[in-house]
Amino acid sequence: MSFINYSSREINCKIVYYGPGLCGKTTNLQYIFRRTNPEQKGKLISLATETERTLFFDFLPLALGDIKGFRVRFHLYTVPGQVFYAASRKLILKGVDGVVFVADSQVERMDANMESLDDLEINLAEQGYDLSKLPFTIQFNKRDLPNVAPLENMNRLLNPGNIACFEAVAVLGTGVFETLKNIAKQVLTELKKHY
Amino acid sequence: MSASDLVMYEEEFNKIDNELQKLYMQTNAKVVFLVDKNGQLIASAGETHDLDTTSLASLTAGNIAATGGIARLLGEQEFTILFHEGEKDNIHISLIGTRVILVVIFDKRSSLGLVRLRVKKASETLVKMFDEISSKSEKEKSEGKLDESPFAEISDEDIDNLFR
Protein backbone atom coordinates (compact mmCIF):
# COMPACT_ATOMS: atom_id res chain seq x y z
CA MET A 1 0.00 0.00 0.00
CA SER A 2 1.73 3.12 -1.15
CA PHE A 3 1.08 6.46 0.46
CA ILE A 4 0.81 9.42 -1.89
CA ASN A 5 0.89 12.80 -0.20
CA TYR A 6 -0.01 15.68 -2.52
CA SER A 7 0.59 18.18 0.24
CA SER A 8 4.23 17.35 0.92
CA ARG A 9 4.57 15.93 -2.63
CA GLU A 10 5.86 12.54 -1.56
CA ILE A 11 5.32 8.97 -2.62
CA ASN A 12 6.11 6.31 -0.02
CA CYS A 13 6.41 2.65 -0.96
CA LYS A 14 7.19 -0.42 1.12
CA ILE A 15 9.54 -3.15 -0.06
CA VAL A 16 10.08 -6.32 1.98
CA TYR A 17 13.13 -8.60 1.74
CA TYR A 18 12.01 -12.16 2.44
CA GLY A 19 13.89 -15.45 2.62
CA PRO A 20 15.13 -18.24 4.88
CA GLY A 21 17.28 -17.67 7.96
CA LEU A 22 20.86 -16.48 7.26
CA CYS A 23 20.26 -15.98 3.53
CA GLY A 24 21.52 -12.40 3.64
CA LYS A 25 18.46 -10.14 3.86
CA THR A 26 19.98 -7.92 6.51
CA THR A 27 23.31 -7.96 4.63
CA ASN A 28 21.52 -6.52 1.57
CA LEU A 29 20.16 -3.64 3.64
CA GLN A 30 23.51 -3.04 5.33
CA TYR A 31 25.24 -2.78 1.96
CA ILE A 32 22.62 -0.38 0.63
CA PHE A 33 22.97 1.67 3.80
CA ARG A 34 26.76 1.87 3.46
CA ARG A 35 26.67 2.82 -0.19
CA THR A 36 24.02 5.55 -0.23
CA ASN A 37 24.63 9.25 0.29
CA PRO A 38 23.80 10.45 3.82
CA GLU A 39 21.14 12.84 2.51
CA GLN A 40 19.33 9.98 0.79
CA LYS A 41 18.95 7.68 3.74
CA GLY A 42 17.64 7.55 7.27
CA LYS A 43 18.89 5.35 10.07
CA LEU A 44 19.19 1.61 9.57
CA ILE A 45 17.17 0.14 12.39
CA SER A 46 17.78 -3.47 13.35
CA LEU A 47 15.65 -5.21 15.92
CA ALA A 48 18.00 -8.12 16.43
CA THR A 49 19.04 -10.56 19.11
CA GLU A 50 22.43 -10.42 20.84
CA THR A 51 23.81 -12.77 18.22
CA GLU A 52 22.68 -10.43 15.44
CA ARG A 53 19.82 -12.59 14.24
CA THR A 54 16.85 -10.47 13.21
CA LEU A 55 14.19 -10.66 15.88
CA PHE A 56 11.43 -8.52 14.41
CA PHE A 57 12.61 -6.51 11.40
CA ASP A 58 15.31 -4.26 9.93
CA PHE A 59 14.18 -0.97 8.51
CA LEU A 60 15.90 1.42 6.12
CA PRO A 61 14.20 4.50 4.67
CA LEU A 62 15.64 5.59 1.31
CA ALA A 63 14.85 8.72 -0.66
CA LEU A 64 15.93 8.03 -4.21
CA GLY A 65 15.05 11.30 -5.89
CA ASP A 66 12.19 13.06 -7.62
CA ILE A 67 9.73 11.95 -10.25
CA LYS A 68 7.40 14.56 -11.72
CA GLY A 69 8.03 16.77 -8.71
CA PHE A 70 7.25 14.06 -6.22
CA ARG A 71 9.91 12.86 -3.81
CA VAL A 72 10.12 9.07 -4.09
CA ARG A 73 10.79 7.27 -0.84
CA PHE A 74 11.23 3.57 -0.35
CA HIS A 75 10.94 1.93 3.01
CA LEU A 76 12.97 -1.26 2.97
CA TYR A 77 12.14 -3.95 5.51
CA THR A 78 13.50 -7.41 6.17
CA VAL A 79 11.66 -10.18 7.97
CA PRO A 80 13.17 -12.51 10.56
CA GLY A 81 14.06 -15.63 8.57
CA GLN A 82 14.04 -18.25 11.29
CA VAL A 83 11.07 -20.58 11.12
CA PHE A 84 9.74 -19.91 14.61
CA TYR A 85 9.29 -16.19 13.97
CA ALA A 86 6.35 -16.89 11.67
CA ALA A 87 3.96 -14.58 13.51
CA SER A 88 6.31 -11.60 13.18
CA ARG A 89 6.92 -12.28 9.50
CA LYS A 90 3.23 -12.02 8.74
CA LEU A 91 2.97 -8.61 10.39
CA ILE A 92 5.74 -7.10 8.31
CA LEU A 93 4.10 -8.05 5.02
CA LYS A 94 1.15 -5.83 5.84
CA GLY A 95 0.80 -3.10 3.24
CA VAL A 96 3.72 -4.30 1.12
CA ASP A 97 4.21 -2.86 -2.38
CA GLY A 98 6.97 -5.17 -3.56
CA VAL A 99 8.84 -8.27 -2.40
CA VAL A 100 12.45 -9.36 -2.89
CA PHE A 101 13.02 -13.04 -2.21
CA VAL A 102 16.62 -13.65 -1.18
CA ALA A 103 17.56 -17.28 -1.76
CA ASP A 104 20.63 -18.94 -0.26
CA SER A 105 22.50 -20.58 -3.16
CA GLN A 106 24.13 -23.32 -1.07
CA VAL A 107 22.90 -26.76 -2.09
CA GLU A 108 22.02 -27.74 1.45
CA ARG A 109 19.77 -24.68 1.84
CA MET A 110 17.47 -25.51 -1.10
CA ASP A 111 14.82 -27.04 1.17
CA ALA A 112 14.92 -23.98 3.41
CA ASN A 113 14.52 -21.74 0.35
CA MET A 114 11.49 -23.66 -0.88
CA GLU A 115 9.90 -23.72 2.55
CA SER A 116 10.38 -19.97 2.91
CA LEU A 117 8.93 -19.28 -0.54
CA ASP A 118 5.83 -21.34 0.32
CA ASP A 119 5.57 -19.48 3.61
CA LEU A 120 5.73 -16.18 1.71
CA GLU A 121 2.89 -17.17 -0.61
CA ILE A 122 0.73 -18.34 2.27
CA ASN A 123 1.34 -15.23 4.36
CA LEU A 124 0.65 -12.95 1.42
CA ALA A 125 -2.55 -14.81 0.62
CA GLU A 126 -3.69 -14.28 4.21
CA GLN A 127 -3.39 -10.54 3.64
CA GLY A 128 -5.27 -10.80 0.37
CA TYR A 129 -2.25 -10.55 -1.94
CA ASP A 130 -1.39 -12.81 -4.83
CA LEU A 131 2.37 -13.17 -5.25
CA SER A 132 2.05 -13.54 -9.02
CA LYS A 133 0.38 -10.12 -9.21
CA LEU A 134 2.74 -8.31 -6.85
CA PRO A 135 6.04 -6.67 -7.91
CA PHE A 136 8.47 -9.49 -7.16
CA THR A 137 12.20 -10.08 -7.66
CA ILE A 138 14.37 -13.06 -6.76
CA GLN A 139 17.99 -12.78 -5.70
CA PHE A 140 20.25 -15.84 -5.69
CA ASN A 141 22.70 -14.86 -3.00
CA LYS A 142 26.10 -16.21 -1.89
CA ARG A 143 27.21 -17.11 -5.43
CA ASP A 144 30.84 -16.90 -4.27
CA LEU A 145 30.59 -20.00 -2.07
CA PRO A 146 32.04 -23.31 -3.34
CA ASN A 147 28.95 -25.45 -2.76
CA VAL A 148 26.36 -23.48 -4.73
CA ALA A 149 23.54 -25.03 -6.71
CA PRO A 150 23.59 -24.44 -10.49
CA LEU A 151 21.37 -21.56 -11.61
CA GLU A 152 19.17 -23.83 -13.75
CA ASN A 153 18.30 -25.92 -10.71
CA MET A 154 17.53 -22.88 -8.60
CA ASN A 155 15.37 -21.37 -11.31
CA ARG A 156 13.49 -24.61 -11.72
CA LEU A 157 12.80 -24.92 -8.00
CA LEU A 158 12.26 -21.31 -6.99
CA ASN A 159 11.37 -19.43 -10.12
CA PRO A 160 8.93 -21.44 -12.21
CA GLY A 161 7.29 -18.20 -13.38
CA ASN A 162 10.64 -17.13 -14.81
CA ILE A 163 10.56 -13.64 -13.32
CA ALA A 164 13.54 -11.30 -13.01
CA CYS A 165 16.30 -12.85 -10.92
CA PHE A 166 19.76 -11.68 -9.94
CA GLU A 167 22.92 -13.43 -8.86
CA ALA A 168 24.46 -11.79 -5.84
CA VAL A 169 27.20 -11.77 -3.26
CA ALA A 170 25.55 -9.42 -0.79
CA VAL A 171 28.56 -9.12 1.56
CA LEU A 172 30.58 -7.68 -1.32
CA GLY A 173 27.64 -5.79 -2.78
CA THR A 174 27.49 -7.75 -6.04
CA GLY A 175 23.93 -7.70 -7.37
CA VAL A 176 22.53 -5.76 -4.43
CA PHE A 177 21.70 -2.53 -6.24
CA GLU A 178 20.65 -4.40 -9.39
CA THR A 179 18.04 -6.21 -7.28
CA LEU A 180 16.87 -3.01 -5.59
CA LYS A 181 16.64 -1.16 -8.87
CA ASN A 182 14.58 -3.92 -10.43
CA ILE A 183 12.05 -4.09 -7.60
CA ALA A 184 11.82 -0.28 -7.36
CA LYS A 185 11.13 -0.11 -11.07
CA GLN A 186 8.39 -2.72 -10.82
CA VAL A 187 6.76 -0.93 -7.87
CA LEU A 188 6.75 2.42 -9.70
CA THR A 189 5.45 0.83 -12.88
CA GLU A 190 2.62 -0.66 -10.85
CA LEU A 191 1.91 2.74 -9.33
CA LYS A 192 1.75 4.22 -12.79
CA LYS A 193 -0.84 1.65 -13.81
CA HIS A 194 -3.15 2.55 -10.96
CA TYR A 195 -2.85 6.33 -10.82
CA MET B 1 -1.94 -2.19 -5.86
CA SER B 2 -4.94 -2.51 -3.63
CA ALA B 3 -7.78 -0.05 -3.23
CA SER B 4 -6.45 0.70 0.22
CA ASP B 5 -3.71 3.00 -1.07
CA LEU B 6 -3.72 6.21 0.89
CA VAL B 7 -3.91 9.35 -1.19
CA MET B 8 -3.76 12.63 0.67
CA TYR B 9 -4.62 15.99 -0.89
CA GLU B 10 -3.62 19.41 0.37
CA GLU B 11 -7.07 20.30 1.71
CA GLU B 12 -7.40 17.21 3.87
CA PHE B 13 -3.80 17.37 4.93
CA ASN B 14 -4.31 20.90 6.27
CA LYS B 15 -7.36 19.84 8.23
CA ILE B 16 -5.47 16.97 9.81
CA ASP B 17 -2.49 19.17 10.48
CA ASN B 18 -4.70 21.72 12.25
CA GLU B 19 -6.24 19.03 14.39
CA LEU B 20 -2.79 17.79 15.39
CA GLN B 21 -1.62 21.32 16.23
CA LYS B 22 -4.71 21.74 18.39
CA LEU B 23 -4.06 18.48 20.19
CA TYR B 24 -0.42 19.44 20.67
CA MET B 25 -1.43 22.71 22.36
CA GLN B 26 -4.22 21.22 24.44
CA THR B 27 -2.17 18.34 25.81
CA ASN B 28 0.98 20.36 26.51
CA ALA B 29 2.81 17.55 24.74
CA LYS B 30 6.31 17.54 23.26
CA VAL B 31 5.38 15.90 20.01
CA VAL B 32 2.19 14.63 18.41
CA PHE B 33 2.21 12.59 15.22
CA LEU B 34 0.07 10.41 13.01
CA VAL B 35 1.34 7.24 11.41
CA ASP B 36 -0.21 4.95 8.89
CA LYS B 37 -0.47 1.34 10.15
CA ASN B 38 2.16 0.35 7.59
CA GLY B 39 4.69 2.63 9.23
CA GLN B 40 4.53 5.74 7.12
CA LEU B 41 4.46 9.12 8.79
CA ILE B 42 1.39 11.14 7.83
CA ALA B 43 1.72 14.38 9.82
CA SER B 44 3.35 15.71 12.95
CA ALA B 45 3.25 18.68 15.32
CA GLY B 46 5.58 19.97 18.03
CA GLU B 47 9.28 19.64 18.74
CA THR B 48 10.14 17.30 15.90
CA HIS B 49 13.43 18.90 14.79
CA ASP B 50 15.76 16.62 16.75
CA LEU B 51 13.59 13.53 16.46
CA ASP B 52 14.00 10.81 13.85
CA THR B 53 10.30 10.75 12.99
CA THR B 54 10.70 8.27 10.11
CA SER B 55 12.20 5.63 12.39
CA LEU B 56 9.72 6.46 15.14
CA ALA B 57 6.87 5.98 12.70
CA SER B 58 8.08 2.61 11.51
CA LEU B 59 8.78 1.32 15.03
CA THR B 60 5.43 2.56 16.33
CA ALA B 61 3.66 0.71 13.55
CA GLY B 62 5.72 -2.40 14.34
CA ASN B 63 4.73 -2.03 17.97
CA ILE B 64 1.04 -1.74 17.13
CA ALA B 65 1.30 -4.70 14.76
CA ALA B 66 2.97 -6.87 17.40
CA THR B 67 0.44 -5.85 20.04
CA GLY B 68 -2.37 -6.56 17.58
CA GLY B 69 -0.88 -10.02 17.06
CA ILE B 70 -0.92 -10.63 20.82
CA ALA B 71 -4.51 -9.36 21.02
CA ARG B 72 -5.69 -11.80 18.38
CA LEU B 73 -3.97 -14.70 20.16
CA LEU B 74 -5.98 -13.75 23.24
CA GLY B 75 -9.21 -13.49 21.30
CA GLU B 76 -9.28 -9.69 21.39
CA GLN B 77 -9.72 -7.78 18.17
CA GLU B 78 -7.09 -5.18 18.98
CA PHE B 79 -5.60 -3.28 21.92
CA THR B 80 -6.48 0.28 21.06
CA ILE B 81 -4.23 2.08 23.54
CA LEU B 82 -0.57 1.53 24.42
CA PHE B 83 1.28 3.54 27.00
CA HIS B 84 5.01 3.48 27.71
CA GLU B 85 6.37 5.29 30.72
CA GLY B 86 9.94 6.52 30.82
CA GLU B 87 12.03 8.43 33.32
CA LYS B 88 11.47 11.75 31.61
CA ASP B 89 9.30 11.15 28.58
CA ASN B 90 6.20 9.06 28.12
CA ILE B 91 4.54 7.89 24.96
CA HIS B 92 0.84 7.36 24.42
CA ILE B 93 -0.13 5.39 21.31
CA SER B 94 -3.71 4.92 20.19
CA LEU B 95 -5.47 3.49 17.19
CA ILE B 96 -7.67 5.84 15.19
CA GLY B 97 -10.28 3.88 13.28
CA THR B 98 -8.72 0.88 11.62
CA ARG B 99 -5.71 2.23 9.79
CA VAL B 100 -4.14 5.19 11.52
CA ILE B 101 -2.07 5.48 14.71
CA LEU B 102 -1.94 8.62 16.86
CA VAL B 103 1.18 9.09 18.96
CA VAL B 104 1.64 11.65 21.75
CA ILE B 105 5.02 12.07 23.43
CA PHE B 106 4.87 14.08 26.64
CA ASP B 107 6.85 14.83 29.81
CA LYS B 108 5.97 16.13 33.26
CA ARG B 109 4.46 19.33 31.86
CA SER B 110 1.45 17.16 30.98
CA SER B 111 -0.25 14.13 32.49
CA LEU B 112 -1.59 10.81 31.31
CA GLY B 113 -5.13 11.79 32.31
CA LEU B 114 -5.03 14.96 30.24
CA VAL B 115 -3.50 13.18 27.25
CA ARG B 116 -6.10 10.40 27.35
CA LEU B 117 -8.97 12.87 27.55
CA ARG B 118 -7.78 15.07 24.70
CA VAL B 119 -6.75 12.12 22.53
CA LYS B 120 -10.23 10.68 22.85
CA LYS B 121 -11.81 13.92 21.62
CA ALA B 122 -9.32 14.34 18.79
CA SER B 123 -9.78 10.71 17.74
CA GLU B 124 -13.45 11.23 17.02
CA THR B 125 -12.67 14.16 14.73
CA LEU B 126 -9.78 12.37 13.03
CA VAL B 127 -11.82 9.23 12.35
CA LYS B 128 -14.33 11.36 10.45
CA MET B 129 -11.57 13.05 8.48
CA PHE B 130 -10.02 9.77 7.40
CA ASP B 131 -13.42 8.42 6.41
CA GLU B 132 -13.84 11.46 4.18
CA ILE B 133 -10.40 10.93 2.66
CA SER B 134 -11.07 7.34 1.73
CA SER B 135 -14.51 8.10 0.29
CA LYS B 136 -13.03 10.98 -1.69
CA SER B 137 -10.25 8.91 -3.24
CA GLU B 138 -12.70 6.10 -3.98
CA LYS B 139 -14.96 8.58 -5.72
CA GLU B 140 -12.15 10.16 -7.72
CA LYS B 141 -10.93 6.75 -8.72
CA SER B 142 -14.33 5.66 -9.96
CA GLU B 143 -14.82 8.94 -11.83
CA GLY B 144 -11.44 8.47 -13.45
CA LYS B 145 -10.16 11.82 -12.22
CA LEU B 146 -6.96 10.20 -11.12
CA ASP B 147 -6.08 9.66 -14.77
CA GLU B 148 -4.87 13.24 -14.72
CA SER B 149 -2.43 12.43 -11.97
CA PRO B 150 1.27 12.98 -12.58
CA PHE B 151 2.04 9.27 -12.24
CA ALA B 152 0.35 8.32 -15.47
CA GLU B 153 3.25 9.88 -17.32
CA ILE B 154 6.13 8.33 -15.43
CA SER B 155 8.55 7.07 -18.06
CA ASP B 156 11.21 4.37 -17.82
CA GLU B 157 13.72 7.15 -18.14
CA ASP B 158 12.35 8.89 -15.02
CA ILE B 159 12.77 5.67 -13.10
CA ASP B 160 16.28 5.08 -14.43
CA ASN B 161 17.23 8.61 -13.42
CA LEU B 162 16.53 7.77 -9.80
CA PHE B 163 19.44 5.39 -9.80
CA ARG B 164 22.07 7.58 -11.41
- The CATH number of the domain where A26 resides is what? 3.40.50.300
Structural domain span for residue A82? 3-194
Strand partners, B92: B83, B104
Which residue in B9, B55, B62 is closest to A43 by CB distance?
B55
What's the number of domains chain A is made of?
1
Spell out the domains of chain B, with CATH numbers in brackets: 10-130 (3.30.450.30)
What is the interface pTM, i.e. ipTM, of the complex? Answer: 0.79
Taking contacts as CB-CB distances below 8 angstroms, the residues of chain A near B14 are 7
Q: Model confidence over B100-150: pLDDT tens digits?
A: 999 999 999 999 999 999 999 999 999 999 998 888 877 877 776 554 566
Contact B40, B128 (CB under 8 A): no
The radius of gyration computed from the CA coordinates of chain A, to the nearest angstrom, equals: 16
Taking contacts as CB-CB distances below 8 angstroms, the residues of chain B near A184 are 159, 162-163
Quote the minimal CA–CA distance from B57 to chain A in Å. Answer: 11
The radius of gyration computed from the CA coordinates of chain B, to the nearest angstrom, equals: 18
Nearest CA in chain A to B43: A8
Q: How far is CA A164 from the centre of its chain?
A: 13
Contact A64, A72 (CB under 8 A): yes
Q: Model confidence over B19-69: pLDDT tens digits?
A: 999 999 999 999 999 998 888 899 999 999 989 998 999 999 999 999 998
CB contact under 8 A, B13 and A4: no
pTM: 0.89
Nearest CA in chain B to A61: B54
CB contact under 8 A, A75 and B65: no
